[in-house]
Structure 1
Amino acid sequence: MKRRVLFVCTANSARSLMAEALLQDMAGDFFEVASAGTGPTSPHPMALQVLQEAGIATDGLHSKQLADLQDQHWDYVITLCEKAASECGSVCQPAQQIAWDFPDPVPSNRHATFALTLKEIKERISLFTLVHQKETGRKPIKYDPVAVFKAMADEFRLSALLLIRDQQQLCVCELTEAFDAPQPKVSRHLATLRESGLLETERRGQWVYYSLNRQIPEWLVRVLDETASQGGALIEHAQQRLGAMADRPVVQCL
């Protein structure tokens, strides 16, 4: 599951737009990115120019009002100037708040200043993505068939895996209700599936959601697809119980 990052500055005309385009270009496979301003204007032509000169796409890049985005779920809110940091306070909770401070290149209206700002933001984003990958352990997983099939050999784990595949993502409380199973049992089996590389997690407020690991290799995707086509009876009752839940957690997304 991609982590969601919102860059914020005052006008959303240069620094935060550059950051949005840079992170999307550098690590779009791992992040969903947007930017906004506390008092947005419009993209500065020179900001777009230096991005294009660096080979970074600017299609669809536009200034946005923070109020239009702050009610969405964000994992990180990164401010790019002191003014935005003070005006934003603690928006988009429970997102992690990160404060960067880059001089505004707009007053100078000089190409060299915009190019330098782009370079400095790129360096900071490179560090951010490196730290994130270390924290989340985003490294290629070696899928040993013996370990994978051992993890799936348990009926409950296989059923939970197929139900998560069917629903795309589920939290522990939903799985507990779906299988009418105690929470410790569910958590223990989910941990085994996660350790084997079959599942990944994402925290959203007080809930932790489980989904199929995006690094699963193609051969294993085919195995799961074929298993699902032949094993519908394993999750039929769980699907019915899940559908009957009246107070399922609300998933916030775009």
Structure 2
Amino acid sequence: MKNILVLCTGNSCRSQMAHGYLNTFSQGKAKIYSAGIETHGLNPGAVSIMKEDHIDISNHTSNHVDEYENIDFDYIITVCDHANENCPYIPSKNAVRLHHNFFDPSKVVGSDSEIHNAFLKARNEIRSYFQAFVNEKL
């Protein structure tokens, strides 16, 4: 079984959505972890937009990357430029490191509709990327 870490700045939004999709798409072929270089708690907008796609991430926790220092990862995937540029050393022997900077919906200010559309855009980008990842790598 593969160990996959999804890493973001605060482990509250994009990495949590990716975690939810990887859990669903991998169908037990991988153990999924998500973490941040900081912890910001679970973003309610991320929970809500994932629920619209029938994936419940409400029980996820916001974890710091140091919590996983003893896990040997097969893949470490950063989902924002800040985490990619500031990621601490993660001692995994043969981890393949991948990076894709996803749009951050938590930074959008506007009407409820504009905020919802921002989360929808990010979620759909994340879903497409991680579906392709699972199809190619697992």
Instruction: Normalising by structure 1, report the TM-score.
Output: 0.50
Which structure is higher in helix share? 1
Whether the aligned pair in 2 keeps the contact of 1:73 and 1:92 (CA below 8 Å) is yes
Q: Residue 112 of structure 2 corresponds to which residue in structure 1?
A: none
In our comparison, the structure showing a higher alpha carbon Rg is 1
Whether the aligned pair in 1 keeps the contact of 2:74 and 2:96 (CA below 8 Å) is yes
CA positional deviation for 1:115: 1.0
Q: Secondary structure at the match of 1:106?
A: helix
2:137 aligns with one of 126, 132, 147: 132
**1:134-213 maps to which residues of 2 (within 5 A)?**
none
CA positional deviation for 1:69: 1.1
CA positional deviation for 1:89: 5.2
Structure 1 unpaired stretches of 5+: 134-254
Structure 1 CA distance, aligned partners of 2:81 and 2:133?
19
Q: Secondary structure at the match of 2:105?
A: coil
Structure 1 CA distance, aligned partners of 2:70 and 2:24?
25
Structure 2 CA distance, aligned partners of 1:103 and 1:29?
28
Instruction: Normalising by structure 2, report the TM-score.
Output: 0.89
Whether the aligned pair in 2 keeps the contact of 1:25 and 1:57 (CA below 8 Å) is no
Count of matched residue positions in the alignment of Structure 1 and Structure 2: 132
The runs of at least 4 aligned residues of structure 1 exceeding 2 Å deviation read: none
CA positional deviation for 1:59: 4.3
Distance 1:40 1:3, change over 3 A: same
CA positional deviation for 1:100: 1.1
CA positional deviation for 1:92: 3.4
CA positional deviation for 1:30: 0.9
Whether the aligned pair in 1 keeps the contact of 2:79 and 2:101 (CA below 8 Å) is yes
Q: Which has the higher contact order (CA 8 A, sep 6+)?
A: 2
Structure 2 CA distance, aligned partners of 1:108 and 1:89?
27
CA positional deviation for 1:90: 4.5
Structure 1 CA distance, aligned partners of 2:33 and 2:122?
19
Q: Residue 50 of structure 1 corresponds to which residue in structure 2?
A: 49
Q: Secondary structure at the match of 1:103?
A: coil
